Amino acid sequence: MDHLRTPDTHDQTLRATRVLKIPETASAAVAAAAVLERTKQIAANTTAIRAWVIQHKAVAAMSINCQLSPKVKLRGLTHARWTLQH
């Protein structure tokens, strides 16, 4: 009956982030390879998230610290570039 339930976003997130369970019968080499692969995946995800946060902090800082006179309008704000229109 699980297939009739509405998907729960929180439950799906928990399933996606659950640590890979390795059966006790698996060999040490298989277990080590699975743990190594999972570690690489977590490291890649962490690096991508860190880069996204740094980029968006920089954009937020630019928009907050940009002091404009009433005659100047900010146009086309994109990540690291913007143009001023007088």
Q: Under a CB-based contact definition with an 8 Å cutoff, are residues 60 and 68 in contact?
A: no
Mean pLDDT of 16-45: 75
Tokens 């143009």 sit on residue: 83
Domain assignment of residue 51, yes or no: yes
Per the confidence metrics, is the pTM higher than 0.75? no
Domain assignment of residue 16, yes or no: no
Q: Tens digit of pLDDT for each residue in 31-79?
A: 778 888 889 999 999 999 999 998 888 877 776 666 555 555 555 554 4
Residue 81: band (very low, low, confident or very high) from pLDDT cuts 50, 70, 90: very low
Q: How many domains does the chain have?
A: 1
Domain assignment of residue 76, yes or no: yes
Domain assignment of residue 67, yes or no: yes
Measured distance CA(28)–CA(76) in Å, rounded: 55
Q: Is the pLDDT of residue 80 over 90?
A: no
